[in-house]
Structure 1
Amino acid sequence: MKIRFTPDSSRDIDSGWERAWQAGRVDLAALTATDLRYGFFDYPVDFTVDGHAFLAGTRTPLVDIMFTVGRSLHGLRTEGSAEIDFTENTYVIRLERAGDQVRFTASYGSPTPPPRCSLDAYTAEARSFVTGGVEYLERHHPALARNPAMASLRELADTP
């Protein structure tokens, strides 16, 4: 089980925000979670389970995937299932508890039988991914530490 991102400072900002960013008019502390989820930090993400790459270096907005991975922890715990979805396409990774295991399928390209890992392994990797992403972003963009979206992400990663 692996969820990792590769920072790419050339993709920290969407082209729609570029002029305001360069002019110093973007206050990362004041941006909405929606803006952060869809306009910033578009990095390659790898999501691999049991040798199957659900995402292999696919560029995705980091804050967006951190939110969906963080929320998946709650869904697995309370409902026994969760989804990791992407606003820029229809691809969905479905997670389903099967005892102390999590089974992973996708809207397309899933192998048979579905890849699995232990719930503990997924929980640890998901928390590490979200926490590591928040720490990276705040270290490289200190104003983000004051953004409520980062606090929400930390809370998702800390939820038992």
Structure 2
Amino acid sequence: MKINFTPDSRHNIGPGWEKAWHAGRIDLAALTATDLRYGFFEYPVDLTVEGHAFLSASRPPLIDIMFSLGHSLQILHTDGKTEIDFTENTYVIHLQLVGDQVRFTSTRGVPTPPPSSSLDSYTSEVRSFIANGLEYLEAQYPALVRNAAMHELRVLAGL
């Protein structure tokens, strides 16, 4: 299982924020988690499990996918199943805990049997993805270090 992203500065700012960004009127430290989740840092993200690409260079906002994956960890541990969905389309990735394996299915179909990963591997990969995302964003945009959403992500992922 692998989750990664590719930074792309062409998509750091979502629609509606460009003028304020270029005028220097955006304080990244003060933005809400919602603003960051839906208005910034749309990078190609890949999520593959046993060779099946659930995400392949899709461009979700990085902070949103980090929150979604972080929440999936908590929900899997408490409910045994969860899903990752996307505001911009109807695609849904379903995760179900079967013993110590996380089984992955989606609204776009998967091979039979469905790809799976150990819960330990999924947990490690999600935490690594979030840690790498935080490290990259905060290095590029130091004001994010002071943003409450970044702290919330750390807590959510157990970092």
Same fold judged by TM-score > 0.5? yes
1:98 is aligned to 2:71: no
Q: What is the distance in 1 between the residues matched to 2:152 and 2:83?
A: 19
In structure 1, the residue corresponding to 2:18 is in which secondary structure?
A: helix
Q: What is the distance in 2 between the residues matched to 1:37 and 1:88?
A: 12
Q: What is the distance in 2 between the residues matched to 1:158 and 1:15?
A: 32
Q: Which residue of 1 aligns with 2:87?
A: 87
Q: Which residue of 2 aligns with 1:32?
A: 32
In structure 1, the residue corresponding to 2:120 is in which secondary structure?
A: helix
> How many corresponding residue pairs?
159
- Counting only pairs closer than 5 Å after superposition, residues 55-66 of structure 1 correspond to structure 2 as 55-66=55-66
Q: What is the distance in 2 between the residues matched to 1:121 and 1:96?
A: 14
Q: Which runs of 5+ in 1 are unaligned?
A: none
1:10: how far off?
1.2
1:109: how far off?
2.6
Q: Over residues 92-117 of structure 1, what are the superposed CA-to-partner deviations in whole Å (9 max), with x where a residue is unaligned?
A: 11110010111000012322211011
Q: Which residue of 2 aligns with 1:145?
A: 145
Q: What is the distance in 2 between the residues matched to 1:74 and 1:35?
A: 23
Q: Which runs of 5+ in 2 are unaligned?
A: none
Q: Which residue of 2 aligns with 1:69?
A: 69
Question: Where does structure 1 differ by over 2 angstroms across 4 or more consecutive aligned residues?
Answer: none
Q: What is the TM-score when the length of structure 2 is the normalising length?
A: 0.97
Q: Over residues 40-60 of structure 1, what are the superposed CA-to-partner deviations in whole Å (9 max), with x where a residue is unaligned?
A: 000000000011000111111
1:42 is aligned to 2:42: yes
Q: What is the distance in 2 between the residues matched to 1:64 and 1:9?
A: 17
Q: What is the TM-score when the length of structure 1 is the normalising length?
A: 0.97
Q: What is the distance in 1 between the residues matched to 2:85 and 2:43?
A: 16
Q: Which residue of 2 aligns with 1:15?
A: 15
In structure 1, the residue corresponding to 2:28 is in which secondary structure?
A: coil
- The one-letter code matched in structure 2 to 1:29 is A
Q: Over residues 9-65 of structure 1, what are the superposed CA-to-partner deviations in whole Å (9 max), with x where a residue is unaligned?
A: 111101310110010000000111111001100000000001100011111110100
1:85: how far off?
1.1
- The one-letter code matched in structure 2 to 1:5 is F
Q: Which residue of 2 aligns with 1:108?
A: 108
Q: What is the distance in 2 between the residues matched to 1:111 and 1:21?
A: 43
In structure 2, the residue corresponding to 1:34 is in which secondary structure?
A: helix
Give the alignment's Cα RMSD to 1 decimal: 0.9
- Counting only pairs closer than 5 Å after superposition, residues 114-133 of structure 1 correspond to structure 2 as 114-133=114-133
| Identity fraction in percent | 67
Q: What is the distance in 1 between the residues matched to 2:93 and 2:15?
A: 28
- The one-letter code matched in structure 2 to 1:55 is L
